[in-house]
Amino acid sequence: MGFLHEELDKKLEHSGRQLDVALLRNMQPIGDVSAVIVPGGAGATNGIRLLGALTAIQEGKINTSEIILTTCDRPTTEAERKRAEAQGFKSDATEFELCLGAATSLLGDISWEESTLPTPYESNDLAKVHQGWARISTPHGMQIISLSVLSAPIDSNRTMPDGSKPRRANTQETFRAAFPLLDEDGKVAIVSHDTWIPYQELAGLDTFLLENNTDVVAFGPQKTDRLAGGSIQQPEQVIDEIVKVYTYYVNLLVKAETRIENQRRTQQYAETAIPDMTELRDAKMRIGYRDVPLTANGSLLHELRQEPLVDLASHGIAGQSYYSRRNATTGASIPGVDKPIYVRESVAKKLADINTFLASPEVTKFFGGAVEVYVEEGLRSTDMQSSLYHQLIPNSIRRHNPDLQEDDIHKRRDEIIAKPSTTDNPSPHATGGAIDIRLRAKPSPWTPDFVADSFIDMGHVDGDTGQRNNPDYFEQATPLADEDITAQRNRRFLYNLLTAYGFTVNPHEWWHFDYGNQLWAFVQNYQLGEKAMQALFGAVERP
């Protein structure tokens, strides 16, 4: 909001009342929306607001074919007449005519496709008030819909036929009138030239929009001469009111932008294919990721990060060592393996950030319920790595593939598990930078921490040591059964999500991701086609 402060400082040097806050001209483009809603006003107000909306559209800040105006009022007070005349409009013009003038001034000639001129205000019954509307077609193919949702001016002395005093519909009523004209799940831009609508009226509007699956993507004051419904005399008052009003507007905007970004990311993660990793798998076995050196002649080639290990539970990350419970790979839990998962602190922080994203309503809607990461392996001891490499994994391969020759068993073993660690060439899990991770349905507080059938379907068969474990397996396999399409989508989501946060995947295991170790550097260097990346972490012992 720095540009806003600059504009305010500039204008306050000249006047404490007339402000020209060019928010629409400074805001980032917000792309496609179903419609722009121009909130209500009196006199020339809606004409000015419409100009603001059209300007934003013309400048490419908003892409839409529809504008919804929410007033067709008539300027009846002396102040409103003067304001209308100052804007070049007829003082006895209806709000509708003022808006037509605004559209004409920017878009040129306009024509009617159909119209029902607004009916006179005879009642405060909103159902009757809303019946007047008109649709305008511009040369650019834009539809401008005008809704008559306001009653007679506030200072009118006349009484409605039903005996009630005229009143204006509040902001939420205005939006409720507009929503039937919007596409389902539409995105909406809201444009206003001032804060005549008291910002208190917007309380609860964000909830209403959420309930209607509609996104507010912009609030845009263009010219401010009245704030929160009252004239401002002193610059200090202007600043105070600006802070109150814009804080609320910006909070709504940030919330809406976050929702839109989360929707975009969720869709992108699920739809972007995992790249073909055939050559990467070959390079990993042929060259070896330990080609990324840590030491030479007993000395470090570069300074490694001395980053502490942390228990994932301390960062709110669920998990338990895979080998601490009965599992299909070894057939039973391994004695002496602790349940807690330890990783480098930066890895834990990244996972916490990922969980924050997963907790968003957009991801919850995508999966049909709340999900979270579940880590099944982090730091692994040298003894444990040696036992897995020399005994447990080969035995598992033999059990699942009884016809394999011993050479093929050893080859497959080397694909799926690293050789035991050495100080200058540690296995990935010995660095605290490797994790075995899954997504699971978030359990309720009263359910056990581990529920086997709570994992999101990744097309995984526990204990399988075959090609199905390759991250890109479902990208290569055709045709796909319905359940495989779901697994493909979920694997894509996990892969794209983790890589977006700086992890790389083991090309032989869809669940194994790395950050900061030699395998992480190797994969990045291979993908970049250069040897620019160095490992950040060496071997580390659990405290």
> Which residues, 6+ apart, have CB-to-CB distance to 431 below 8 Å?
344, 379, 516, 517, 518, 535, 537, 538, 539, 540
Would you give the distance in Å from CA 359 to the centre of its chain?
11
Would you give the distance in Å from CA 207 to the centre of its chain?
18
Q: Return the CA Rg of the chain.
A: 31
Q: What type of residue sits at position 496?
A: N
What domains are there in the chain, each with its CATH number?
1-260 (no CATH), 273-528 (3.30.1380.10)
pTM of this structure: 0.56
Residue 443: the pLDDT is: 84
> Which residues, 6+ apart, have CB-to-CB distance to 233 below 8 Å?
16, 17
| Beta strand pairing call for 309-311 and 342-344 | antiparallel
pLDDT 10s per residue in the chain (543 long)?
A: 233 334 333 433 333 222 232 333 444 555 666 666 665 544 344 544 555 566 566 666 667 766 666 544 444 445 545 554 554 444 444 444 444 544 454 455 444 333 333 333 333 333 333 333 444 444 444 555 544 433 333 334 545 455 555 444 444 455 555 555 444 444 455 444 333 333 333 334 444 444 444 443 333 333 333 323 333 233 344 334 434 444 444 455 556 667 778 888 999 999 999 999 999 999 888 887 777 777 555 555 566 778 899 999 999 999 988 888 887 777 777 777 778 899 999 999 999 999 999 999 999 999 999 999 999 999 887 777 777 777 767 777 787 788 888 888 787 777 777 777 666 778 899 899 999 999 999 987 655 555 556 899 999 877 677 789 999 999 988 888 888 999 999 999 999 999 999 999 999 999 999 999 999 999 998 888 777 678 888 888 887
The DSSP call for residue 456 is P
Q: How deeply is 65 buried, as exposed, middle or buried, from its count of CB atoms within 10 A (0-12, 13-18, 19+)?
A: middle
Q: Which residue has the tokens 């060496």?
A: 538
Residue 511: the pLDDT is: 95
> Strands across the sheet with 504-506, in order?
318-319, 371-377, 434-441, 509-514, 504-506
Count CA atoms within 13 Å of residue 27 on its CB side.
28
Containing H/E element for 31? Answer: strand 31-32
